[in-house]
Structure 1
Amino acid sequence: MSNAFLSIEKVNMVFGEGKKETRVLDDINLQIDKGEYVSIIGHSGCGKSTVLNIVAGLLSATSGGVILEGKEVNSPGRDRSVVFQNHSLLPWLTVYENVALAVNKAFKKTKTAKERRDWILQSLDMVGMSHALDKRPNEISGGMKQRVGIARALSLEPRVLLLDEPFGALDALTRSHLQDEVMSIQEKLNTTIIMITHDVDEAVLLSDRIVMMTNGPEATIGEILDIELPRPRNRIEMADNPLYNRYRQQVLSFLYEKQRKVEDLPSAKKTRAAESATNKEKELA
């Protein structure tokens, strides 16, 4: 058993049965250290969100499993908070009440009413939403809704924060501001973060490592790229940083050369190419 903070071990995922059976994930292995920011990137249909949902305990792997701090993950838990692309706020509750619902349920036996209120306010202050406590979701912008979603997730004091394309539906400027806030929050809290993204620049800017998935079905981890850029990171400075641009090029090369070429092959050739790639990976393992 791995000694990593979080370990994804020999995970396979099959949907359907018989002729309709599809192997979505094939032998996923990944170890993540405490406080690490890991992004998972790949083309649509490569099983990124399936991996995240297995870590969250929302799906059970067909075989293999996830170990968090020495304990097997087999159901959802407060030690793992998820932020989806859709903010999922309850429309009839205020900003404060949406976070309070989670905090009061999680800490009813361990925090006093005053401690819970202070923690709710602190969580909302962390994402810059203290000014909108009494607003309902239909009274705030998409970016503000996502801030509340992040505050609610962090308010549970999770060991792992799982982000499933959390900025995907936002405009570019709002997206940039939220990325900066997530970087700042992680620096303060040393939270372990796993993020699903399609955005190469986002992955390079935020991550300590980028996990690149091969195309599905039978998707697996193709390459893992260590991002050795100093923190804190400034997006304007990064634009002219040669190392940043080298990392960016490496991810683009994987996504749009190594993987896209397989997509463009006729079906029979595609199958042979996939088998060849799998055999080479096994030889290198």
Structure 2
Amino acid sequence: MTFHTPTGAYCAVENVDLAVDRGAFVSIIGHSGCGKTTVLNIVAGLLEATEGIVLLDGREVRGPGPDRAVVFQNHSLLPWLTVYENVRLAVDKVFRDRKTRAERHEWTLYNLELTHLAAAKDKRPSEISGGMKQRVGIARALAMEPKVLLMDEPFGALDALTRAHLQDSVMEIHARLGNTVLMITHDVDEAVLLSDAIVLMTNGPAATVGEVVPVDLARPRDRVALTAEARYHQLRGRVLEFLYRRQMRPAA
């Protein structure tokens, strides 16, 4: 992906070759400026790659679509709508011709229950916490029934306790739905806890995939129990070693 800037062409990422299995939870991690969000935006169809393509179920991605839902760090809720209405907006957009009004209502409620928001469905964004706002963003994305859920540092702005609760919720949802997830994070512990594989990006410009680390920890995962597992610490150490010693020389 090359951007044209006032000082000339800037190659953000190059030779990014990545395959993601159906139902896998994959995290992308790397230093700031390594092109993580650029890769996510290309998959989402928000950017068109300068060279190369994205394939989803064998079909080329051409622009945004309901088969890929994005959860941003900023929850991007409409403040004049209730929690229910924010989620229903996406449901109506995607399923207007495929579900009846009653079915769309039930589907909205189902996704609110899935994200533990049923009790807050009539509240507006100003009346709920930051963690609950992010839950609404996740509920809205899941309600679109996407083939791939894309998350760009969805917990980055939250306090540690709220972040932990949301991580547990995401693991629970992923276990129940078996959806494919591609998540950007700066948090090594978060990546190891949630992922089936961690994609390690080299530093930019012209960043690329330096290494893909399979996370072979059994599911379901308990964050407290994992702290006593040697394999957890081995995986964590491997990611940290790459980020702080090898990010410029992935073959070293």
What is the TM-score normalised by the length of structure 2? 0.98
Structure 2 residue aligned with 1:134: 122
Structure 2 residue aligned with 1:5: none
Does residue 46 (structure 1) correspond to residue 38 (structure 2)? The answer is: no
Structure 2 residue aligned with 1:149: 137
Moved over 6 A (4+): none
Match of 1:100 among 68, 83, 88: 88
1:216-231 superposed matches below 5 A: 216-231=204-219
**1:35-87 superposed Cα distances (whole Å, 9 cap, x missing partner):** 00000000000000000000000000000010000100010000000000000
**1:93-143 superposed Cα distances (whole Å, 9 cap, x missing partner):** 000000011101111111111111010000000010000111000110000
Rounded to whole Å, the distance in 2 between the matches of 1:57 and 1:207 is 23
Rounded to whole Å, the distance in 1 between the matches of 2:72 and 2:228 is 31
Give the deviation of 1:258 after TM superposition: 1.6
Match of 2:63 among 75, 78, 86: 75
Rounded to whole Å, the distance in 1 between the matches of 2:202 and 2:12 is 11
| Counterpart secondary structure, 1:119 | helix
Match of 2:183 among 185, 195, 198: 195
Identical-residue share of aligned pairs (%): 61
Higher relative contact order (CA 8 A, sep 6+): 2
Rounded to whole Å, the distance in 2 between the matches of 1:178 and 1:142 is 11
| Cα distance change on mapping 1:17 and 1:198 into 2, 3 Å | closer
**1:203-233 superposed Cα distances (whole Å, 9 cap, x missing partner):** 0000000000000001001111000000000
Runs (5+) with no aligned partner, structure 2 = none
| Counterpart secondary structure, 1:22 | strand
Structure (1 or 2) with the greater helix fraction: 1
Query: In terms of Rg, which structure is larger?
Result: 1
AA aligned to 2:161 is L
Rounded to whole Å, the distance in 2 between the matches of 1:18 and 1:142 is 37
Structure 2 residue aligned with 1:112: 100
Rounded to whole Å, the distance in 1 between the matches of 2:79 and 2:2 is 36
AA aligned to 1:65 is I
**1:184-216 superposed Cα distances (whole Å, 9 cap, x missing partner):** 101111100000000000000000000000000
After superposition, the CA RMSD in angstroms is 1.3
Match of 1:239 among 227, 232, 235: 227
Aligned length: 252
AA aligned to 1:153 is A
AA aligned to 1:199 is D
AA aligned to 1:136 is R
Runs (5+) with no aligned partner, structure 1 = 1-12, 263-276
What is the TM-score normalised by the length of structure 1? 0.86
